[in-house]
Amino acid sequence: MKLSAPILGLIFPRIVSAYWLPELLGEVKTCVVPKNETGTDDTPNVVRTTAECGEHTRVIFEKDLTYNLWTPLQLKSLSNVEFVFNGNVSLPDNVSYVESVVADANLYPGRWINFQGTNVTLTGSEDPKQGWFIGNGELWWPGGAANSANKGRPHFFSLKVDYLRARHLKVWKPVAWVFSMGGSHVWMTDTLIDARSEDGFPFNTDGVDMSASNSLIDGFTIYNGDDLINVSPPTTNVTVRNMYSSGGHGIAVSCASGAGGNYLFENAVVEDSLIGARFKGALGTTCDLSNVAWRNFTIRNTSYPIHFIENYVDQEKGLPPGHNVSLAAYATNFTWENFVGQTGQSLKDGSCISDPCWSSTLGKSLFPILLHVSLRKLIVIAGESTDKGMYLLCADGEHCKDFHFSNIDLKAYDGKPAEMECTGLNGVSGMGIACTNNTIALA
């Protein structure tokens, strides 16, 4: 499958350089977090040291120590503080205990580690043996389907910071859901998340849930079982570049409500994964999203290299009653540029615990809408196959405008040119994109 067409220029604003970087300021007050010598929980010492140290300071976690956060950490109203993680930080290694904490709203604020404020820097160690955030996810993953449905799993980080500088952060085996980014003006570099599992699938190990506008993520390596990143409205002006993703569910944009856009994802290697470049518009809702680009992608052994659907349903929540399934996202000025790679041998991964599989373009994307059509007809419409490198499922031409493709060279798993599937939902055949097997014509 080779596609080529002109691309409209995309302009993304530069990130504002107004971050708290103590190394540029000369000497600053430094405080070291002491280990708890009389108990097991280091969370109180972290809270106390941060409060006593105050503003315009550096808080250090010492090398060769592991700080145990046996209770969730909440640091609010931070201002001009750097946290330096020379040592490791660990969540509890007792599953039933963690579940009991997550179930207690008085103890658990929604994430286990919470930073909130303005001008905060998080600095990890460049020593490969130091500075790890340890989640103990391997204790949870063997649960299979029960793990996927477990509401007692902890989310790891909430970062609600305006002007957050995060660098060299390393996360080891998070249980699920790693970074939730709020605030604005995030500058995140050289991040590593390792959620590889030898026993059970690492369900919902999303890397970043991004709602921080005017942000840049540069240098991100992840081994996991869900999206590397998901960006959605009302977030605007986000650039993510220099990525490596293995085992995951895509470099994703989603749209369920509101308006947003100006997202750029560039320079990515995706391999041994389920999805590459991904868009998911929520079924039964509407939103407006514009100026989104994926470019310079190398994709290897990935089931769906390019996957765009406008009727996504969360498998764990289902379709709410009374939803108008004719509603869909409005997507304008989307670009896919410089893609090379190959599909995967299978259309499933370890997250497939339902029949049909949650990720099935046939089962999930079309069936809720086309209830009046037989299953045999659905197969004809969807045509799900390892021969196909791209799926575009749009509501109609009004909902998908100004789509641009350039230098798309994808092969099927057997080495033949990959095919593509472009389908108008709700019985609509004209989407503004004419797509049949090895040919795509732009409207």
Q: Which two tokens stand for residue 14?
A: 């530069």
* pLDDT value, residue 430: 52
* pLDDT value, residue 392: 87
Q: Which two tokens stand for residue 81?
A: 């503080």
Look at residue 174 and give its three-state secondary structure.
coil
Instruction: Return the CATH class of domain 2-442.
Output: mainly beta
Distance CA 299, CA 338 (A): 11
Segments in the chain below pLDDT 50: 4-16, 362-381, 432, 436-443
Alpha carbon 132 to its chain centroid, in Å, reads 20
Query: What phi and psi values does residue 148 have, to the nearest 5 degrees?
Result: -60, -35
Q: Which two tokens stand for residue 390?
A: 């791209």
* pLDDT value, residue 316: 63
Distance CA 166, CA 216 (A): 11
pLDDT digits (tens, 9 = 90+) for 205-240: 999 999 999 999 999 999 999 999 999 999 999 999
Distance CA 50, CA 209 (A): 26
Query: What phi and psi values does residue 82 have, to the nearest 5 degrees?
Result: -110, 135
Beta bridge partners of residue 405, listed in sequence order = 336
Residues in the chain, total:
443
Q: Which two tokens stand for residue 61?
A: 């976690």
Distance CA 301, CA 414 (A): 11
Which among 263, 249, 335 has a CA at the least distance from the CA of 295? 335
Distance CA 326, CA 328 (A): 7
Given CA atoms 414, 416, 422, 423 in this order, what sign does their dihedral have?
A: negative
Q: Which two tokens stand for residue 352?
A: 């497939």
Which among 209, 205, 203, 193 has a CA at the least distance from the CA of 159? 209
